[in-house]
Amino acid sequence: MSRLLSRLDRSVPQRFRGFRPRVGFVVTLLALGGLALAGRAVDLQVVQHDRLAALAQRQSQRTIRLDGRRGPIYDRMGDPLAMSVKADSIYAHPASIADPAVAAFRLARLLGLDADWVEQRLRSNQAFVWIKRHVTPSESAAVQALHLDGIAETQEYTRVYPERTFAAPLLGFTGVDTQGLEGLEYAYDSYLKGAEGYKVVNRDALGRTVLTGNDDFPTGGGSIRLTIQPAVQYIVEQELSRAVQVHDAAVGIAIVMRTNTGEILAMAHAPDFNPNDYLDYDKETYFNRAVTSGYEPGSTFKVFTISAALEEGVVKPDSLFFCENGEWQHYDSVIHDTEPHGWLGLGGVIRVSSNICAAKIGLLLPAAVFHSYLQKFGFGHRVGLFTAADGRRLAGEAEGYLPPVDRWTPVDHAAISFGHGILVSPLQLITGVNAIANGGKLVQPRLVLEVRDPAGHIVEQNRYPVARRVISARTAGIVRDLMKGVVSPEGTGKRAAVPGYVVAGKTGTTEIYDLKARGYSQTKHIASFVGFVPADHPALTILVVVERPKKGRFGGVVAAPVFSNIARRALPLLGVWPSEGVRHARMDVAQQAPDALP
């Protein structure tokens, strides 16, 4: 080192010599300063690290609250049926309001509220009170223009149903805090609801936010996509609404199911309601009766009695039954037919819908055997429409009521044979008939195609349905042929016929049990029709139920025409064309032009 310094010294010009002591002094000072800085750095970075880091974090970071946006509900095509958007909500700090009476008068006039009610809230001892939540943009702007001290707005998510009454009882609605209250909103609340979240951002000395990391904090809810086909749903709602009006009925329910997959393409109710303003409607309109209600199915149930009897071999397709000319005393009850009939074959029994002969057929089966068939067809328990991927049953599905077999009396046994003394939901009934349409295999109905998490990943998907055999394909084929007869010109369901298609179905007319009168009402009925089309290669299974029609009472008169109209309009949408009347042309895809047009 000394050699190096002496060499450097020699190389330094003469006039700079003699500075060495001073350079050494400066170097020493700098070294001491460096040491002091290093010591301070160690003190700040190591000794006081935790305290200073926390202090810096408090000064430079800000926590932002993120509202949990409820996830959307889509139809089959991916169009939103329910979505969440931000809306202003008006609130007040009562202590800051100088003149509550004047403020209340002005707010009430703008927001359409009762002035006394608003004044009462403005005179509250609470620090914070809501005045009106989820107001329209124009209402919010008008309130802001008032410049009232102590009145302010905040933004919240609100649920919007852009298509208003469309599929409303199926979708249900949410409360003011966007919690599911009815329908799918309630059943799938755990999937759809968003969680309130927090995001930490950095800010500078001026309070401005600087670059933060992940901006997509997953506080929103998941989404669900339904099997509902909007065009079919629209047709069904239109036809059902028309029928309810024409027959002056109280309620109408219709379900359209894709036969081979069990997917529900439409589930409609009339009258319906607008879930955006559900408080303006009768609560009776809120319920998804197709899934949640139970009723006595009446004659539509006879197809299950005959299916079980054929499968067990207690009757044959050519068996004959005496229908007692319209009245039959069975133990202490008398069973009636709508019209007197004598001897009828199986086809005749189902075509004219004889209660007496259906009861006789049912009584040929041991009660336990008959009961087990009804269970296999899906009655007396939930069919699992609202079941999560992990097997959890979601709320909202009715079990119906199938009396335990050990409580069956001979009268019960006979009554159940023609659809009395039990309760089934419309969904259970169509699922059972769909099993016959499917060649004896029962397919679990599906309403939800897929569920996605907030990040858009599929968490549950409509798997290809698991089918279980209820009756043999041979028996299903025989029953299908019998059901075709119902829609023949001699059958009770002739008005369900669809030009160009072969229809198989069954009518039902049930008197409603009056709890007060302790007997069946002579004036209140449920008219229904259930069937599938085209009968030999079914594409759609359709159920129509019309409750308490004042004009007309029979299923063949009230419900069957609705079935016909729905099938006629919906089948072409699914590419199922009538066998006659419609011309077919071959299209050359390469040329994008039909080669056989007239």
Partner 1 sequence: MDLKLVRRLPAALGSASYVVLVVLCAVVLTVGAVFFLWQRYQFVRLGYQVDRLRTEQSRLREAIEPLEVEVQYLSRLKRIDELARTQLHMHDPDPSQVIVLESDVPAAQSSR
Tell me the catalytic residues.
Answer: 299
| Burial class, 312, CB count within 10 angstroms (exposed 0-12 / middle 13-18 / buried 19+) | middle
Q: 318 by DSSP, 3-state: which?
A: coil
Site string for partner 1, 482-511 (x = CB under 8 A): -----------------xx-----------
235-254 residues near partner 1, rule: CB under 8 A:
238
Site string for partner 1, 129-168 (x = CB under 8 A): --------x----------------------x-xxx-x--
Is 586 a residue that touches partner 1 (CB under 8 A)? yes
Six token digits for residue 479: 């029953």
The residue to which tokens 């589930």 are assigned: 267
| Cβ within 8 Å of residue 476, ≥6 positions away | 307, 435, 436, 437, 438, 439, 440
Tell me the pairing of strands 320-322 and 343-345: antiparallel
Q: Which candidate, 180, 160, 172, 161, places its Cα nearest to that of 87?
A: 160
Beta bridge partners of 321: 344
Is 584 a residue that touches partner 1 (CB under 8 A)? yes
Cα 354 → chain centroid: 38
- Contact status, residue 193 vs residue 232, Cβ threshold 8 Å: no
- Judged by CB under 8 A, which of 11, 63, 138, 329 binds partner 1? 11
Q: Which candidate, 360, 329, 328, 324, places its Cα nearest to that of 343?
A: 324
Smallest distance, Å, CB 223 to partner 1?
14
* Region binding partner 1 by CB under 8 A among candidate stretches 79-87, 371-379, 518-526, 555-563: 79-87
Q: How many residues does the chain have?
A: 598
554-573 residues near partner 1, rule: CB under 8 A:
569, 572
Smallest distance, Å, CB 582 to partner 1?
5
- Judged by CB under 8 A, which of 62, 66, 76, 453 binds partner 1? 76
* Region binding partner 1 by CB under 8 A among candidate stretches 110-118, 143-151, 210-218, 454-462: 210-218
Smallest distance, Å, CB 596 to partner 1?
9
Q: Which is nearer to partner 1, 106 or 568 (CB)?
A: 568
Residue 456 φ/ψ region, left for φ over 0, alpha for ψ in the -120 to 50 degree band, beta for the rest:
left
Q: 517 by DSSP, 3-state: which?
A: coil
Helix axes 355-363, 410-417, angle to 10 degrees: 120
Q: Which candidate, 433, 444, 442, 439, places its Cα nearest to that of 531?
A: 433
Is 185 a residue that touches partner 1 (CB under 8 A)? no
- Judged by CB under 8 A, which of 26, 29, 85, 395 binds partner 1? 85
Q: Which is nearer to partner 1, 39 or 594 (CB)?
A: 594
Tell me the pairing of strands 327-330 and 333-336: antiparallel
Is 472 a residue that touches partner 1 (CB under 8 A)? no
Residue 391: CB atoms within 10 Å: 7
Is 597 a residue that touches partner 1 (CB under 8 A)? yes
Is 211 a residue that touches partner 1 (CB under 8 A)? yes
Smallest distance, Å, CB 274 to partner 1?
12
Residue 127: CB atoms within 10 Å: 10
Q: Which is nearer to partner 1, 230 or 432 (CB)?
A: 230
Q: Rounded to whole angstroms, how far apart are CA atoms 333 and 322?
A: 18
- Contact status, residue 452 vs residue 223, Cβ threshold 8 Å: yes
For the CA atoms of 397, 400, 404, 405, the dihedral, rounded to the nearest 10 degrees, stands at -120
Smallest distance, Å, CB 194 to partner 1?
15
Smallest distance, Å, CB 34 to partner 1?
16
Site string for partner 1, 319-358 (x = CB under 8 A): ----------------------------------------
Is 86 a residue that touches partner 1 (CB under 8 A)? yes
- Judged by CB under 8 A, which of 9, 43, 79, 339 binds partner 1? 79
- Judged by CB under 8 A, which of 144, 179, 212, 444 binds partner 1? 212
- Contact status, residue 504 vs residue 483, Cβ threshold 8 Å: yes
Is 77 a residue that touches partner 1 (CB under 8 A)? yes
Is 61 a residue that touches partner 1 (CB under 8 A)? no
Smallest distance, Å, CB 204 to partner 1?
8
- Contact status, residue 351 vs residue 486, Cβ threshold 8 Å: yes
217-236 residues near partner 1, rule: CB under 8 A:
230-231, 234
Q: Which letter does DSSP use for residue 301 in this model?
A: G
In this structure, which amino acid lies at residue 331? Y
Is 98 a residue that touches partner 1 (CB under 8 A)? no
Q: Rounded to whole angstroms, how far apart are CA atoms 157 and 221?
A: 12
* Region binding partner 1 by CB under 8 A among candidate stretches 83-91, 396-404, 410-418, 544-552: 83-91
Residues that bind partner 1 (CB under 8 A): 4, 7, 10-13, 76-77, 79-80, 83, 85-86, 137, 160, 162-164, 166, 204, 208-212, 215, 230-231, 234, 238, 499-500, 569, 572, 575, 577-578, 581-589, 594, 597
